[in-house]
Amino acid sequence: MSPRLRPELDGIPIYKPGRPPAVADGVTAYKLSSNENPYPPLPGVLEVAAAAAQSFNRYPDLACTALHAELADRFEVPVAHIATGTGSVGVAQQLVQSTAGAGDEVIYAWRSFEAYPIIAQISGATSIQVPLDADENHDLDAMAAAITDRTRLIFVCNPNNPTGTIVRRAELERFLDRVPSDVLVVLDEAYIEFVADADFPNGVELYRDRPNVSVLRTFSKAYGLAGLRVGFAIAHEPVAAALRKTAVPFGVSQLAQDAAVASLRAEDALLERVKALVVERARVHEGLAAQGWTLPETQANFVWLRLGERTLDFAAACERAGVTVRPFPDEGVRITIGETEANDVLLRTAEAFRKEL
Ligand SMILES: *Cc1c(COP(=O)(O)O)cnc(C)c1O
Protein backbone atom coordinates (compact mmCIF):
# COMPACT_ATOMS: atom_id res chain seq x y z
CA MET A 1 0.00 0.00 0.00
CA SER A 2 1.25 3.46 -0.74
CA PRO A 3 0.66 6.40 1.59
CA ARG A 4 -2.80 7.91 1.25
CA LEU A 5 -2.63 11.23 -0.55
CA ARG A 6 -5.35 13.87 -0.60
CA PRO A 7 -7.73 13.17 -3.47
CA GLU A 8 -7.68 16.89 -4.30
CA LEU A 9 -4.26 16.31 -5.80
CA ASP A 10 -5.64 14.00 -8.50
CA GLY A 11 -5.67 15.68 -11.84
CA ILE A 12 -3.84 18.82 -10.78
CA PRO A 13 -2.34 20.26 -13.93
CA ILE A 14 1.43 20.38 -13.79
CA TYR A 15 2.82 23.92 -14.05
CA LYS A 16 4.56 24.07 -17.40
CA PRO A 17 7.63 26.28 -17.24
CA GLY A 18 8.60 28.04 -20.43
CA ARG A 19 11.12 25.74 -22.07
CA PRO A 20 14.71 26.80 -22.44
CA PRO A 21 15.76 27.01 -26.08
CA ALA A 22 17.19 23.91 -27.71
CA VAL A 23 20.62 24.74 -29.03
CA ALA A 24 21.07 23.80 -32.69
CA ASP A 25 24.39 24.17 -34.49
CA GLY A 26 25.02 27.65 -35.78
CA VAL A 27 21.70 29.06 -34.52
CA THR A 28 21.64 31.53 -31.64
CA ALA A 29 18.97 30.45 -29.18
CA TYR A 30 16.64 32.88 -27.40
CA LYS A 31 14.10 32.15 -24.69
CA LEU A 32 10.87 34.05 -25.23
CA SER A 33 8.68 31.63 -23.30
CA SER A 34 8.62 32.81 -19.67
CA ASN A 35 8.14 36.59 -19.77
CA GLU A 36 11.53 37.06 -18.19
CA ASN A 37 13.54 40.23 -18.43
CA PRO A 38 16.31 39.91 -21.04
CA TYR A 39 18.57 42.35 -19.17
CA PRO A 40 21.12 41.32 -16.54
CA PRO A 41 20.52 42.43 -12.92
CA LEU A 42 20.18 46.18 -12.36
CA PRO A 43 23.35 48.15 -11.47
CA GLY A 44 24.56 47.37 -7.96
CA VAL A 45 22.19 44.46 -7.42
CA LEU A 46 24.71 41.74 -8.20
CA GLU A 47 27.18 43.24 -5.70
CA VAL A 48 24.53 43.32 -2.98
CA ALA A 49 23.51 39.75 -3.74
CA ALA A 50 27.12 38.60 -3.71
CA ALA A 51 27.61 40.24 -0.31
CA ALA A 52 24.48 38.52 1.01
CA ALA A 53 25.82 35.22 -0.27
CA GLN A 54 28.68 35.52 2.23
CA SER A 55 26.28 34.58 5.00
CA PHE A 56 24.04 31.95 3.56
CA ASN A 57 25.01 29.64 6.38
CA ARG A 58 22.54 31.83 8.35
CA TYR A 59 18.76 31.89 8.11
CA PRO A 60 17.34 35.01 6.50
CA ASP A 61 15.42 37.70 8.38
CA LEU A 62 12.07 35.97 8.89
CA ALA A 63 10.17 39.26 9.00
CA CYS A 64 11.89 40.69 5.89
CA THR A 65 12.23 43.91 7.90
CA ALA A 66 14.28 46.00 5.49
CA LEU A 67 12.33 44.96 2.41
CA HIS A 68 8.96 45.56 4.05
CA ALA A 69 10.08 48.98 5.24
CA GLU A 70 11.31 49.86 1.75
CA LEU A 71 8.06 48.71 0.14
CA ALA A 72 5.88 50.49 2.72
CA ASP A 73 7.81 53.67 2.07
CA ARG A 74 7.67 53.28 -1.70
CA PHE A 75 3.93 52.67 -1.86
CA GLU A 76 2.98 54.88 1.10
CA VAL A 77 1.17 52.09 2.91
CA PRO A 78 1.48 50.85 6.50
CA VAL A 79 4.24 48.29 6.90
CA ALA A 80 1.61 45.94 8.39
CA HIS A 81 -0.07 45.87 4.97
CA ILE A 82 2.97 44.30 3.28
CA ALA A 83 3.49 40.55 2.98
CA THR A 84 6.25 38.92 0.98
CA GLY A 85 6.56 35.37 -0.28
CA THR A 86 8.39 33.03 -2.63
CA GLY A 87 7.41 34.89 -5.76
CA SER A 88 3.95 36.32 -6.16
CA VAL A 89 2.82 32.81 -7.08
CA GLY A 90 3.77 31.82 -3.55
CA VAL A 91 1.78 34.74 -2.14
CA ALA A 92 -1.17 33.92 -4.42
CA GLN A 93 -1.15 30.38 -3.07
CA GLN A 94 -1.15 31.74 0.50
CA LEU A 95 -4.11 33.99 -0.37
CA VAL A 96 -6.10 31.00 -1.63
CA GLN A 97 -5.08 28.89 1.38
CA SER A 98 -6.17 31.72 3.64
CA THR A 99 -9.63 32.08 2.11
CA ALA A 100 -10.82 28.95 0.30
CA GLY A 101 -11.05 25.27 1.16
CA ALA A 102 -13.22 22.35 0.13
CA GLY A 103 -16.60 23.50 -1.16
CA ASP A 104 -15.46 27.09 -1.68
CA GLU A 105 -15.14 28.74 -5.06
CA VAL A 106 -12.35 30.77 -6.64
CA ILE A 107 -13.29 32.81 -9.72
CA TYR A 108 -10.90 33.94 -12.43
CA ALA A 109 -10.91 34.63 -16.14
CA TRP A 110 -9.80 31.95 -18.55
CA ARG A 111 -7.46 31.77 -20.24
CA SER A 112 -5.41 33.50 -17.63
CA PHE A 113 -2.40 32.74 -15.46
CA GLU A 114 -1.91 28.99 -15.34
CA ALA A 115 -0.99 28.94 -11.66
CA TYR A 116 -4.58 29.83 -10.64
CA PRO A 117 -6.19 26.43 -11.30
CA ILE A 118 -3.26 24.68 -9.65
CA ILE A 119 -3.31 26.63 -6.41
CA ALA A 120 -7.10 26.54 -6.19
CA GLN A 121 -7.10 22.77 -6.53
CA ILE A 122 -4.28 22.26 -4.01
CA SER A 123 -6.43 24.16 -1.52
CA GLY A 124 -9.37 21.88 -2.29
CA ALA A 125 -11.39 24.80 -3.67
CA THR A 126 -13.41 24.73 -6.89
CA SER A 127 -12.23 26.86 -9.82
CA ILE A 128 -14.87 28.87 -11.62
CA GLN A 129 -13.31 29.84 -14.93
CA VAL A 130 -15.06 32.65 -16.77
CA PRO A 131 -14.14 32.78 -20.47
CA LEU A 132 -12.46 35.90 -21.83
CA ASP A 133 -14.65 37.83 -24.26
CA ALA A 134 -14.13 37.77 -28.03
CA ASP A 135 -11.48 40.50 -27.76
CA GLU A 136 -9.46 38.53 -25.17
CA ASN A 137 -10.60 40.80 -22.31
CA HIS A 138 -11.86 39.89 -18.85
CA ASP A 139 -15.65 39.59 -19.00
CA LEU A 140 -16.30 41.35 -15.71
CA ASP A 141 -20.08 41.19 -16.04
CA ALA A 142 -19.92 37.43 -16.39
CA MET A 143 -17.45 37.24 -13.50
CA ALA A 144 -19.78 39.27 -11.28
CA ALA A 145 -22.67 37.03 -12.33
CA ALA A 146 -20.61 33.97 -11.35
CA ILE A 147 -20.36 35.05 -7.71
CA THR A 148 -22.27 32.78 -5.31
CA ASP A 149 -22.39 32.51 -1.54
CA ARG A 150 -19.53 30.02 -1.90
CA THR A 151 -17.20 32.49 -3.62
CA ARG A 152 -14.22 33.33 -1.45
CA LEU A 153 -11.65 34.82 -3.81
CA ILE A 154 -11.58 36.41 -7.27
CA PHE A 155 -8.38 36.91 -9.27
CA VAL A 156 -8.23 39.78 -11.74
CA CYS A 157 -5.02 39.41 -13.74
CA ASN A 158 -4.22 42.90 -14.95
CA PRO A 159 -2.62 42.95 -17.50
CA ASN A 160 -3.79 39.44 -18.28
CA ASN A 161 -1.28 36.66 -18.83
CA PRO A 162 -1.18 35.38 -21.63
CA THR A 163 -3.21 37.89 -23.66
CA GLY A 164 -1.65 41.18 -22.46
CA THR A 165 -5.08 42.84 -22.31
CA ILE A 166 -6.06 45.16 -19.46
CA VAL A 167 -9.12 45.93 -17.41
CA ARG A 168 -9.59 49.72 -17.35
CA ARG A 169 -10.26 51.86 -14.28
CA ALA A 170 -13.98 52.62 -14.67
CA GLU A 171 -14.97 49.03 -15.44
CA LEU A 172 -12.84 47.65 -12.61
CA GLU A 173 -14.38 50.09 -10.11
CA ARG A 174 -17.86 49.15 -11.31
CA PHE A 175 -16.96 45.49 -10.83
CA LEU A 176 -15.49 46.01 -7.36
CA ASP A 177 -18.68 47.81 -6.35
CA ARG A 178 -20.62 44.66 -7.23
CA VAL A 179 -18.45 42.21 -5.27
CA PRO A 180 -19.70 41.42 -1.75
CA SER A 181 -17.41 42.88 0.89
CA ASP A 182 -16.62 39.42 2.34
CA VAL A 183 -15.15 38.17 -0.94
CA LEU A 184 -11.44 38.89 -1.47
CA VAL A 185 -10.50 40.39 -4.85
CA VAL A 186 -6.84 39.91 -5.77
CA LEU A 187 -5.47 42.27 -8.39
CA ASP A 188 -2.51 40.39 -9.88
CA GLU A 189 -0.30 43.12 -11.31
CA ALA A 190 2.81 41.16 -12.27
CA TYR A 191 3.31 43.30 -15.38
CA ILE A 192 2.23 46.73 -14.14
CA GLU A 193 5.62 48.32 -14.79
CA PHE A 194 5.11 47.78 -18.54
CA VAL A 195 1.68 49.42 -18.69
CA ALA A 196 1.53 52.61 -20.75
CA ASP A 197 -2.26 53.08 -20.83
CA ALA A 198 -3.41 56.12 -18.81
CA ASP A 199 -6.72 54.39 -18.01
CA PHE A 200 -4.99 51.55 -16.20
CA PRO A 201 -6.17 51.26 -12.59
CA ASN A 202 -3.28 51.13 -10.15
CA GLY A 203 -4.31 48.54 -7.58
CA VAL A 204 -2.45 50.30 -4.78
CA GLU A 205 -4.82 53.25 -5.19
CA LEU A 206 -7.91 51.03 -5.41
CA TYR A 207 -7.08 48.92 -2.36
CA ARG A 208 -6.84 51.88 0.03
CA ASP A 209 -10.52 52.30 0.81
CA ARG A 210 -11.56 48.75 -0.08
CA PRO A 211 -10.73 46.26 2.68
CA ASN A 212 -11.57 43.29 0.41
CA VAL A 213 -9.05 44.25 -2.29
CA SER A 214 -5.44 43.02 -2.26
CA VAL A 215 -2.68 43.70 -4.76
CA LEU A 216 -0.05 41.22 -5.92
CA ARG A 217 3.28 42.43 -7.30
CA THR A 218 6.50 40.66 -8.19
CA PHE A 219 10.20 41.26 -8.62
CA SER A 220 10.32 38.54 -11.29
CA LYS A 221 9.38 40.45 -14.42
CA ALA A 222 10.38 44.11 -14.84
CA TYR A 223 12.84 43.93 -11.94
CA GLY A 224 14.56 40.90 -13.43
CA LEU A 225 14.80 38.77 -10.28
CA ALA A 226 12.76 35.77 -11.49
CA GLY A 227 15.37 33.32 -10.25
CA LEU A 228 15.45 34.73 -6.71
CA ARG A 229 11.74 34.11 -5.92
CA VAL A 230 10.37 37.18 -4.25
CA GLY A 231 6.96 38.76 -4.65
CA PHE A 232 4.60 40.60 -2.35
CA ALA A 233 1.05 41.53 -1.54
CA ILE A 234 -0.35 44.82 -0.32
CA ALA A 235 -3.42 43.98 1.73
CA HIS A 236 -5.44 45.26 4.65
CA GLU A 237 -4.64 44.04 8.13
CA PRO A 238 -6.63 40.80 8.50
CA VAL A 239 -5.53 39.55 5.07
CA ALA A 240 -1.91 40.60 5.53
CA ALA A 241 -1.93 38.88 8.94
CA ALA A 242 -3.26 35.69 7.31
CA LEU A 243 -0.39 35.88 4.85
CA ARG A 244 2.11 36.01 7.68
CA LYS A 245 0.50 32.89 9.16
CA THR A 246 0.51 30.91 5.92
CA ALA A 247 4.05 31.85 4.85
CA VAL A 248 6.66 29.13 4.65
CA PRO A 249 9.09 30.16 7.39
CA PHE A 250 12.26 31.71 5.92
CA GLY A 251 10.87 31.25 2.40
CA VAL A 252 12.41 34.45 1.04
CA SER A 253 16.19 34.18 1.17
CA GLN A 254 18.41 37.00 2.42
CA LEU A 255 19.86 37.18 -1.07
CA ALA A 256 16.39 37.77 -2.47
CA GLN A 257 15.48 40.30 0.23
CA ASP A 258 18.65 42.32 -0.24
CA ALA A 259 18.51 42.14 -4.04
CA ALA A 260 14.89 43.30 -3.96
CA VAL A 261 15.76 46.33 -1.82
CA ALA A 262 18.69 47.18 -4.12
CA SER A 263 16.44 46.79 -7.17
CA LEU A 264 13.88 49.19 -5.73
CA ARG A 265 16.66 51.69 -5.23
CA ALA A 266 17.83 51.32 -8.84
CA GLU A 267 14.57 52.61 -10.21
CA ASP A 268 16.04 54.99 -12.76
CA ALA A 269 17.84 52.18 -14.54
CA LEU A 270 14.73 50.03 -14.25
CA LEU A 271 12.54 52.64 -15.89
CA GLU A 272 15.03 53.00 -18.75
CA ARG A 273 14.94 49.28 -19.44
CA VAL A 274 11.19 49.12 -19.19
CA LYS A 275 10.96 52.00 -21.64
CA ALA A 276 13.22 50.18 -24.11
CA LEU A 277 11.12 47.01 -23.81
CA VAL A 278 7.91 48.99 -24.35
CA VAL A 279 9.43 50.44 -27.54
CA GLU A 280 10.34 46.92 -28.65
CA ARG A 281 6.84 45.74 -27.78
CA ALA A 282 5.36 48.37 -30.10
CA ARG A 283 7.78 47.37 -32.86
CA VAL A 284 6.89 43.68 -32.55
CA HIS A 285 3.16 44.38 -32.31
CA GLU A 286 3.19 46.71 -35.31
CA GLY A 287 5.42 44.34 -37.27
CA LEU A 288 3.06 41.42 -36.72
CA ALA A 289 0.01 43.53 -37.54
CA ALA A 290 1.68 44.71 -40.76
CA GLN A 291 2.22 41.06 -41.70
CA GLY A 292 -1.53 40.58 -41.44
CA TRP A 293 -1.80 39.00 -37.99
CA THR A 294 -4.71 40.00 -35.79
CA LEU A 295 -3.57 40.35 -32.19
CA PRO A 296 -4.88 42.10 -29.10
CA GLU A 297 -3.30 45.29 -27.85
CA THR A 298 -0.84 44.35 -25.12
CA GLN A 299 0.31 46.28 -22.06
CA ALA A 300 2.63 43.55 -20.80
CA ASN A 301 6.07 42.32 -21.92
CA PHE A 302 4.59 39.77 -24.32
CA VAL A 303 2.23 39.45 -27.26
CA TRP A 304 -0.49 36.87 -27.85
CA LEU A 305 -1.29 35.20 -31.16
CA ARG A 306 -4.47 33.16 -31.19
CA LEU A 307 -3.42 30.46 -33.62
CA GLY A 308 -5.89 27.72 -32.76
CA GLU A 309 -4.91 24.42 -34.32
CA ARG A 310 -1.79 25.95 -35.89
CA THR A 311 -0.34 26.79 -32.46
CA LEU A 312 2.12 23.91 -32.24
CA ASP A 313 3.25 24.30 -35.87
CA PHE A 314 4.04 27.94 -35.21
CA ALA A 315 5.90 27.10 -32.01
CA ALA A 316 7.92 24.47 -33.88
CA ALA A 317 8.80 26.95 -36.64
CA CYS A 318 10.02 29.39 -33.99
CA GLU A 319 12.04 26.66 -32.32
CA ARG A 320 13.78 25.82 -35.60
CA ALA A 321 14.65 29.50 -35.99
CA GLY A 322 16.15 29.58 -32.49
CA VAL A 323 13.38 31.21 -30.42
CA THR A 324 11.34 29.32 -27.86
CA VAL A 325 7.83 30.67 -27.39
CA ARG A 326 5.04 29.49 -25.08
CA PRO A 327 2.37 27.49 -26.88
CA PHE A 328 -1.04 26.72 -25.37
CA PRO A 329 -2.09 23.87 -27.66
CA ASP A 330 -5.15 24.62 -29.82
CA GLU A 331 -5.38 28.11 -28.34
CA GLY A 332 -2.44 30.32 -29.10
CA VAL A 333 1.13 31.35 -28.52
CA ARG A 334 2.50 33.80 -25.99
CA ILE A 335 5.72 35.46 -27.06
CA THR A 336 7.86 37.42 -24.63
CA ILE A 337 9.46 40.66 -25.82
CA GLY A 338 13.16 39.93 -25.61
CA GLU A 339 16.44 41.21 -26.97
CA THR A 340 16.18 43.15 -30.25
CA GLU A 341 17.84 40.29 -32.14
CA ALA A 342 15.42 37.75 -30.68
CA ASN A 343 12.47 39.93 -31.64
CA ASP A 344 13.91 40.22 -35.17
CA VAL A 345 14.10 36.44 -35.50
CA LEU A 346 10.55 36.15 -34.24
CA LEU A 347 9.26 38.71 -36.75
CA ARG A 348 11.04 36.99 -39.64
CA THR A 349 9.71 33.61 -38.59
CA ALA A 350 6.16 34.88 -38.19
CA GLU A 351 6.31 36.47 -41.64
CA ALA A 352 7.52 33.27 -43.30
CA PHE A 353 4.91 31.22 -41.43
CA ARG A 354 2.15 33.56 -42.55
CA LYS A 355 3.18 33.36 -46.19
CA GLU A 356 2.78 29.58 -46.08
CA LEU A 357 -0.76 29.69 -44.68
C1 LIG B 1 4.92 35.79 -13.79
C2 LIG B 1 3.65 36.02 -13.09
C3 LIG B 1 3.59 36.11 -11.70
C4 LIG B 1 4.82 36.16 -10.88
O5 LIG B 1 5.40 35.03 -10.61
P6 LIG B 1 6.53 34.99 -9.49
O7 LIG B 1 6.09 33.86 -8.66
O8 LIG B 1 6.52 36.27 -8.76
O9 LIG B 1 7.78 34.74 -10.24
C10 LIG B 1 2.39 36.34 -11.09
N11 LIG B 1 1.27 36.50 -11.80
C12 LIG B 1 1.29 36.45 -13.13
C13 LIG B 1 0.04 36.68 -13.87
C14 LIG B 1 2.47 36.20 -13.81
O15 LIG B 1 2.47 36.13 -15.14
Strands 213-218 and 30-31, bridge-based pairing: unpaired
For ligand 1, say whether the CB of 85 is within 6 Å of any of its atoms: no
Identify whether the C-beta of residue 292 lies closer than 8 Å to the C-beta of residue 354.
yes
Ligand 1 center–CA 291 separation, angstroms: 30
DSSP string, 149-212: TTEEEEEEESSPTTT-----HHHHHHHHHHS-TTSEEEEE-TTGGG---TT---HHHHHTT-TT
Q: Measuring CA to CA, which residue among 352, 191, 208 is closest to residue 281?
A: 191
Ligand 1 center–CA 190 separation, angstroms: 5
Per-residue confidence (pLDDT) for residue 34, from 0 to 100:
96
Reading the chain (357 residues) residue by residue, the pLDDT tens digits are 899 999 988 888 887 777 777 767 788 899 999 999 999 889 899 999 999 999 999 999 999 999 999 999 999 999 999 999 999 999 999 999 999 999 999 999 999 999 999 999 999 999 999 999 999 999 999 999 999 999 999 999 999 999 999 999 999 999 999 999 999 999 999 999 999 999 999 999 999 999 999 999 999 999 999 999 999 999 999 999 999 999 999 999 999 999 999 999 999 999 999 999 999 999 999 999 999 999 999 999 999 999 999 999 999 999 999 999 999 999 999 999 999 999 999 999 999 999 988
Identify whether the C-beta of residue 208 lies closer than 8 Å to the C-beta of residue 219.
no
CA-closest residue to ligand 1 atom 2: 190
Atom nearest to 221 CA in ligand 1: 1
Dihedral, 177, 128, 211, 178 alpha carbons, nearest 10:
10
Per-residue confidence (pLDDT) for residue 19, from 0 to 100:
74
CB atoms closer than 10 angstroms to residue 24 = 12
Per-residue confidence (pLDDT) for residue 17, from 0 to 100:
78
**CA-CA distances (angstroms) from residue 306 to 77, 89, 110, 111?**
39, 25, 14, 11
For ligand 1, say whether the CB of 88 is within 6 Å of any of its atoms: yes
Pocket test for ligand 1, best of 221, 223, 328 (most atoms within 8 A of CB): 221
Atom nearest to 35 CA in ligand 1: 1
Q: Measured over all CA atoms, what is the biggest interatomic distance in the chain, rounded to whole angstroms?
A: 61
Identify whether the C-beta of residue 279 lies closer than 8 Å to the C-beta of residue 65.
no
Q: Measuring CA to CA, which residue among 342, 347, 309, 346 is closest to residue 328?
A: 309
pTM for the complete prediction?
0.97
Burial of 1 by CB count in 10 Å (0-12 exposed, 13-18 middle, 19+ buried)? exposed
Q: Measuring CA to CA, which residue among 193, 77, 250, 104 is closest to residue 95?
A: 104
Where b means 16+ CB within 10 Å and e means fewer, 329-338 reads eebbbbbbbb
Type of residue found at 140 = L
For ligand 1, say whether the CB of 161 is within 6 Å of any of its atoms: yes
Pocket test for ligand 1, best of 84, 88, 195 (most atoms within 8 A of CB): 88
State the Cα–Cα distance between residues 213 and 181, nearest whole angstrom. Answer: 9
State the Cα–Cα distance between residues 255 and 263, nearest whole angstrom. Answer: 12
Per-residue confidence (pLDDT) for residue 81, from 0 to 100:
98
